[in-house]
Structure 1
Amino acid sequence: MTTLLTAKGIKKSFYNDSLETTVLKGVDLELQEGEFVSIMGKSGSGKSTLLNILSTLDKADSGEIKLQGQDISQLEDEKAGALRRETFGFVFQLPRMVKNLSILDNILLPSMKYKVNKAEAKEEALTLMDKIGILEIADKRLSQVSGGQLQRAGICRAIINQPKLIFADEPTGALDSKSGKDVLDLFATLHREGKTILLVTHDINVAAMSERVLFMKDGLLYKNLQLGNDPAANALEVQEQINHL
């Protein structure tokens, strides 16, 4: 496998008046192309902070991040924004969409092709929506769709530019069990198609679908657990590790 992303010595602190809180204490990580990796840990362990730094949404105080060998840890805002648009896809717990636009228009917002060929971009977006099972909501507004449909639309938007790496932060956290399973199945499909996924979750069943689980504790990676092909057995292994956090 080819290494896609590496991080070395990632440290991050936050300050409130004179109080310093160290969230990441020197994290090392390596992600291969085509991997599906989950990050788990208790609240405050640094999971989301790490994800934000790896994806250039935030900057580390120190450390190095390389994407295919290129240092991306100190990119200027404009270049970091271009990297996120062209190379990364993002799925959040609550999809970040524009209320007065249709679902289709929201999906098209980050599309690079839309600026060049609107008709072709729309056709690609509709094909993607059909594949994911939400074609019928293309013209609806945010208030007219369910949480599960909205999250799937968010996934469509995340992959509209064919990203090299998908970052997801608690993608099933705000969904009911049925919608959560549908979204989880979609991530599994994306992985089978060769997408690289790095996902933060507190849900054992979500983590059990991945290939590896990284457990965080007190700002450090505590355990790297390689999983097999049986989600049920994986869930038991993940639960055992959680019990020791």
Structure 2
Amino acid sequence: MSRMILKGINLEKSYDNAVLKTKVLKGVDIELKEGEFVSIMGKSGSGKSTLLNILSSLDAPDNGELYFEGRKITHLEEEEAAKLRRESFGFVFQLPKMVRNLSIMDNILLPSVSYRKNKKELIAKAQELMKKIGIEQIADNRISQASGGQLQRAGICRALINDPKILFADEPTGALDSKTGQEVLELFSTLHAEGKSILMVTHDIQVASRADRVIFMKDGFLVGEIKPGADRKEGLKKIQEAVNSL
């Protein structure tokens, strides 16, 4: 049986503005096992991106507890949280956050710059990742010379450069056309098949159907969960029915 790698208990989060205080997460319990692919779905404002940010230590909960590999990481000092993210977590966003005056290769290497590792070994690893993901031919290109799909693939390479234990993804196909989105989705399926733990926020049922489990959020609560199973058609049907009920 796979071990638990990430666990959130009774997570709560509120945000203040000039007028009112909005509670975004309302006592969320969630677990991720090693090698598991979990998708989180819900309407805009349901709290799914906030939950992802807290689980990945980009934000802290107001209440509740968060554990990574059995270690409590709820309220780490920022330096310690940054070290955890750098060493154990990888991030893929809807719009890849690239440094425009650097090459694709240099952007991929950015998370590893503070490591005392052999640069030749890091470059070799980046080249291996780029070849695997199909962008080795643009290693020396500037950001302005790459397509949206190529940039997202580069973002995935960058997320993997330090061999993270968990890959967090927030709408990774949301800004791509259907063909490119499908290609990126296949990459995530391959990473999952290779044993990578993945936690992904998505609004796309096609994307969610690749996961081991799909969790549904509404108004800051987890309101349901399904396992799509091996039958893709049946899995899509179950997910669509769950989405329609939100």
Matching residue of 2:94: 93
Counterparts of 1:31 and 1:37, CA distance in 2: 7
1:114–1:122 contact (8 Å) kept in structure 2: no
Report the Cα offset of residue 227 of structure 1. 1.9
Matching residue of 2:57: 56
1:114–1:121 contact (8 Å) kept in structure 2: no
The answer on 1:196 being equivalent to 2:215 is: no
1:132–1:186 contact (8 Å) kept in structure 2: yes
Matching residue of 1:207: 208
Q: Kindly report which structure 2 residues correspond to 1:161-176, keeping only aligned pairs within 5 A, or say none.
A: 161-176=162-177
Counterparts of 1:204 and 1:181, CA distance in 2: 12
The answer on 1:29 being equivalent to 2:30 is: yes
Counterparts of 1:112 and 1:212, CA distance in 2: 35
Q: Kindly report which structure 2 residues correspond to 1:56-205, keeping only aligned pairs within 5 A, or say none.
A: 56-111=57-112, 115-205=116-206
What secondary structure does 1:166 align onto?
strand
Report the Cα offset of residue 18 of structure 1. 4.1
Report the Cα offset of residue 113 of structure 1. 8.2
Counterparts of 1:52 and 1:113, CA distance in 2: 23
1:10–1:61 contact (8 Å) kept in structure 2: yes
2:227–2:235 contact (8 Å) kept in structure 1: no
Counterparts of 1:242 and 1:129, CA distance in 2: 35
Per-residue displacement from partner, 1:158-195 (whole Å, max 9, x unpaired)?
A: 01111000000000000000110000000000000000
TM-score by length of 2: 0.98
What secondary structure does 2:149 align onto?
helix
Specify whether residues 48 and 29 from structure 1 end up closer, same or farther in structure 2 by C-alpha distance, changes over 3 A only: same
Report the Cα offset of residue 142 of structure 1. 0.9
Counterparts of 1:242 and 1:12, CA distance in 2: 24
The answer on 1:46 being equivalent to 2:51 is: no
In structure 2, what residue type is equivalent to 1:168? A
Counterparts of 1:112 and 1:33, CA distance in 2: 27
What secondary structure does 1:173 align onto?
coil
Counterparts of 1:113 and 1:131, CA distance in 2: 25
The answer on 1:7 being equivalent to 2:8 is: yes
2:41–2:217 contact (8 Å) kept in structure 1: yes
Number of aligned residue pairs: 245
Report the Cα offset of residue 92 of structure 1. 0.2
Counterparts of 1:164 and 1:123, CA distance in 2: 20
Report the Cα offset of residue 115 of structure 1. 3.9
Report the Cα offset of residue 114 of structure 1. 6.1
Counterparts of 2:157 and 2:115, CA distance in 1: 15
Per-residue displacement from partner, 1:114-135 (whole Å, max 9, x unpaired)?
A: 6421111111101110011100
CA RMSD across the alignment: 1.0
1:102–1:142 contact (8 Å) kept in structure 2: yes
Report the Cα offset of residue 112 of structure 1. 5.7
Counterparts of 1:145 and 1:61, CA distance in 2: 40
Counterparts of 2:194 and 2:113, CA distance in 1: 22
In structure 2, what residue type is equivalent to 1:94? L
Percentage of matched positions with identical amino acids? 62
What secondary structure does 1:234 align onto?
helix
Counterparts of 1:115 and 1:234, CA distance in 2: 45
Structure 1: runs of 5+ lacking an equivalent: none
Counterparts of 2:125 and 2:43, CA distance in 1: 39
Counterparts of 2:78 and 2:151, CA distance in 1: 29
In structure 2, what residue type is equivalent to 1:92? F
The answer on 1:227 being equivalent to 2:228 is: yes
What secondary structure does 1:198 align onto?
strand
What secondary structure does 1:37 align onto?
strand
